């Protein structure tokens, strides 16, 4: 576990929801699309016992719990402050099927084969020991269980901008990018088989040029482009099943 990642999110917790929607509202659409993909991926799989890793303030937790009232969801985060924010949010939304637990994704405080579904969004990019995270997910998942993850793409615009302008795009905490080939071999090595994959935030230009003046067009282009340029997207969304 990296102390500076925990410190960064603990200090940001109270403002996290405000500061992360910065690009003229486009993030709102990206969030909406991401939720849609997660819901699609989860729709036909068993999800009585669900684990979310690195839940943060509940960007996904709250809508997921709301739409899956029969699921028992455990939401884990390393940062107590992020969990506190999520706790307040769940209380105000009267969501009761989520329990919160402080923990490290590389050393999960759960017994083997406890969950039907594990999902984690915008987390693996911070985890230096991401192999351990994947191996822990395998350990706590039941056989045949499903994992849904997003990996920041090595060939997406974000990674490329970062490589070209490192000083301007400097991250305050470590960020790791992945190629699809790396994702595939990582998951295979730890006993998973990829079932579905989809790109998210596949291109950049309307974000910076047109902002939220054309949200519908943006959404339409994004949905269309992401169908065939998944490997070049900002985030690769992956659904995989535990086979070993
Ligand atoms: C970018 S935020 C994403 C939060 C949320 N999943 C979302 O999509 O909005 C990353 C989250 O991962 C958590 N995190 C980072 N390293 C962690 C670790 N080793 N174990 C558990 N949580 C961790 C942070 O505290 C933070 O809440």
Confidence of residue 21 (pLDDT cuts 50, 70, 90): low
CA angle 239, 100, 49 (to 5 degrees): 45
Q: In this structure, are residues 175 and 130 in contact, taking their beta carbons and an 8 Å threshold?
A: no
CA of 87 to the centre of ligand 1 (A): 15
List alpha helices for 13-155, DSSP H: 16-19, 26-43, 61-67, 80-92, 130-140
Give, in order, the Cα–Cα distances in Å from 97 to each of 35, 139, 162, 182, 219.
Answer: 18, 23, 39, 35, 31
The rounded distance, in Å, linking the Cα atoms of 90 and 84 is 10
Q: Which among 95, 85, 89, 93 has a CA at the least distance from the CA of 16?
A: 85
**Atom number, ligand 1, closest to the C-alpha of residue 79:** 25
CA of 104 to the centre of ligand 1 (A): 10
Residue 171 has pLDDT above 80, yes or no: no
Strands 192-200 and 141-152, bridge-based pairing: unpaired
pTM value is: 0.93
CA of 182 to the centre of ligand 1 (A): 21
**Atom number, ligand 1, closest to the C-alpha of residue 9:** 25
Rounded average pLDDT over 39-60 = 97
**Atom number, ligand 1, closest to the C-alpha of residue 13:** 27
**Atom number, ligand 1, closest to the C-alpha of residue 1:** 19
Query: What residue ranges line ligand 1, CB within 6 angstroms?
Result: 1, 5, 9, 54-56, 59-60, 76-79, 82, 104-106, 121-123, 126-127
CA of 150 to the centre of ligand 1 (A): 12
Residue 95 has pLDDT above 60, yes or no: yes
Nearest protein Cα to ligand 1, atom 4: 56
The rounded distance, in Å, linking the Cα atoms of 198 and 183 is 13
The pLDDT value recorded for residue 157 is 83
Query: Measured on CA atoms in the order 171, 86, 58, 141, is the torsion positive or negative?
Result: positive
CA of 95 to the centre of ligand 1 (A): 21
Rounded average pLDDT over 63-78 = 97
**Atom number, ligand 1, closest to the C-alpha of residue 20:** 9
The total number of structural domains in the chain stands at 1
> What CATH code is carried by the domain that includes residue 157?
3.40.50.150
The boundaries of the domain holding residue 67 are: 3-242
Q: What is the DSSP string of 133-196?
A: HHHHHHHHEEEEEEEEEEEEBTTSHHHHHHHH-TTTT--SS----B-HHHHHHHHHHTTEEEEE
Q: In this structure, are residues 158 and 235 in contact, taking their beta carbons and an 8 Å threshold?
A: no
């Amino acid at each position: 576990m990296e102390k500076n990642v925990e410190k960064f999110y603990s200090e940001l917790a109270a403002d996290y929801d405000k500061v992360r929607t910065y690009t003229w509202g486009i993030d709102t659409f990206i969030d909406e699309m991401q939720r849609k993909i997660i819901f699609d991926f989860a729709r036909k799989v068993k999800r009585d016992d669900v684990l979310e890793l690195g839940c943060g303030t509940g960007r996904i937790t709250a809508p997921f719990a709301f739409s899956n009232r029969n699921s028992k969801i455990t939401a884990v985060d390393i940062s107590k402050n992020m969990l506190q924010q999520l706790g307040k949010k769940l209380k105000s939304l009267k969501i009761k099927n989520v329990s919160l637990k402080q923990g490290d994704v590389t050393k999960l405080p759960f017994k083997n084969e406890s969950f039907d579904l594990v999902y984690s969004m915008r987390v693996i990019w911070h985890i230096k020991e991401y192999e351990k995270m994947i191996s822990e997910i395998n350990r706590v998942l039941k056989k045949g269980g499903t994992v849904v993850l997003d990996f920041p793409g090595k060939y997406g615009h974000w990674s490329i901008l970062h490589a070209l302008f490192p000083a301007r795009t400097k991250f305050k905490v470590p960020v790791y990018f992945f190629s699809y080939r790396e994702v595939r071999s990582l998951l295979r090595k730890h006993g998973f088989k990829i079932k579905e994959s989809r790109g998210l935030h596949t291109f950049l230009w309307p974000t910076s040029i047109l902002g939220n003046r054309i949200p519908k067009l943006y959404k339409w282009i994004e949905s269309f482009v992401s169908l065939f340029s998944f490997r070049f997207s900002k985030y690769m969304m992956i659904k995989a099943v535990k086979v070993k």
